[in-house]
Structure formats: C-alpha cells, structure tokens
Amino acid sequence: MLRIEPIPAFDDNYLWLVHDGIHAVVIDPGDAAPVVTALQRLNLRLQAILLTHHHNDHIGGVAALCAQFDVEVLAPADERIPLATRRVGGGDAVDLAAPSLRLHVLDLPGHTRSHIGYYGSGLLFCGDTLFSAGCGRLFEGTPAQMLASLDALAALPPETAVCCAHEYTWSNCAYAATVEPGNPQLRARVDEVRTLRAQGRPSVPSTIAQERATNPFLRTDEPSVIAWGERHGIPASARVERFAALRRGKDQFRVPATW
C-alpha cells in the first residue's frame, strides 16, 4: 500500500515522499537534508526523483541526493533543470516498479512556462500550480495558460489528493473569504485549517472536491465569484479577465492581523 508524507523544508515548503514501506520516490526535493533524514527514519531506499519546475526550492537538493543515491531524475524539458535522466511532458506516463506507481504527466504552464504535474493512484503532485484554496503566482505564464491548467486539474476525480508544495492554506483562505464571504464550505475549511495548524499538522493534502468547493481560482464560473468580478468592473462573460483580477488581488493581499 502506498503512503505519502509531506516533508517540511525551508519556511513553508513540502517535499513529498511516496513509499511502500521499502522503496521511495521524492517529489521536488529543494533540500536534500530533510529527505535523507526521512529516508533514514523510515528505513527507505530512494528510487527516483520527480521534478515539477525549475525553481531552486524545488530542485536545490537534487545534486546532493544524486551524489548519495543511484536514482532516476524525471523533469520537464527545461534547460534550467540539470541532472535529469529523463525529460517528460504532458501525455507521458511514468511507470515505477518500486514503489509500484504509474503516474500521468500533465502540462501545467502558468507559474513557469515548463511547469508539469504528476497524477496517478489518486494522487496529484502539482508543484506550485494549485495550492489549497489558492494557486501559484504567474512568473512566466499568462492568465489564460494558468486558468487552463487549473481547469484541467479541477476536472480530475473529486477524491484526488492534492499534494501541493507549500503551506499557504491559511493566507489563501483569508483571501478566499474576501471573494466569497458567504461560502459555508469555505468557513468550515477555515475552522479545519485553524485546528490543524494549531496542532502543528499540515493542512495538506486537500482533495479536488475541497478545492472545487472553496478555492476561488477553481470557481471562476460560480455566481458568487462572477459577482465579485462585476463589483470590480469585469463583465460576467470575461472569465480570463476575472481570473487575472483574482490573481492580482492575491498578489496584493495581506492577511489582516485580526484574521
């Protein structure tokens, strides 16, 4: 049976470990040290490294892990990611023997131009494209690209576990509440996240169902989000512009001290 473990790193990153009790795969190891510690604690053998995009907090530990372990490194076709043993893109399948895992590669441009994700066995490793109650900044892609990437993720089965790469849920929920203050499922998610974080526990993974119900970036066609856009001068028919305004709003947002 596959198990997943979010390994905390830096201020708010999660490096995801997937294992069967013997063999392990790590996704986006920005730092090698916590990965090695987890492998030793769980007595696991590292078999492969999967990368979603080129940012250093996602690839910074690859060289050190490759120096210590004989592993395959899968990455998007981006010259900014060295040490890849296999380049993958949308439509490719990744078949791992140990742990036994089949993942489908998804093209997810928006946060970066070459961002990809991995989906299979009820798990989604989406890097910095989709966060719980939020989405990634648009460093290289366009709003239309990011919205299309998020639409593709929203279409995955509702029970899919969303294994995103940062602990941003609390601030994302605070922003989402300014967009849909009357959303009861968002209020319930806020209470859940408050409890989890007070206990020192991760707020992720969430599920696609939770994100469809609470994440404004997956809800651009909901009447309440359309109304938010209209209050900001965006016609109901302009969904890309509405998404772009939502993302600009989050870029400028600061969590209130009273939240």
- Residue type at position 18: V
Residue among 55, 78, 107, 115 flagged as catalytic:
55
Instruction: Tell me if residue 232 is catalytic.
Output: no
Instruction: Tell me if residue 58 is catalytic.
Output: yes
Provide the token pair at 241.
């512009």
Residue among 19, 23, 111, 115 flagged as catalytic:
111
Residue among 23, 31, 54, 57 flagged as catalytic:
57
Residue among 19, 23, 58, 115 flagged as catalytic:
58
Q: Could you tell me if 123 and 113 are in contact, meaning their C-beta atoms sit under 8 angstroms apart?
A: no
Instruction: Tell me if residue 57 is catalytic.
Output: yes
Q: Find how far residue 231's CA is from the centre of its chain.
A: 29
Q: Could you tell me if 238 and 228 are in contact, meaning their C-beta atoms sit under 8 angstroms apart?
A: no
Instruction: Tell me if residue 55 is catalytic.
Output: yes
Task: Give the helix/strand (H/E) hosting 194.
Answer: helix 184-198
Instruction: Tell me if residue 53 is catalytic.
Output: yes
Residue among 23, 54, 115, 166 flagged as catalytic:
166
Instruction: Tell me if residue 221 is catalytic.
Output: no
Residue with tokens 């639409």: 151
Residue among 53, 54, 78, 115 flagged as catalytic:
53
Instruction: Tell me if residue 23 is catalytic.
Output: no
In angstroms, the CA 103 to CA 201 distance is 27
How far is CA 82 from each of CA 39, 92, 114, rounded to the nearest angstrom? 23, 20, 14
**Which positions are catalytic?**
53, 55, 57-58, 111, 128, 166
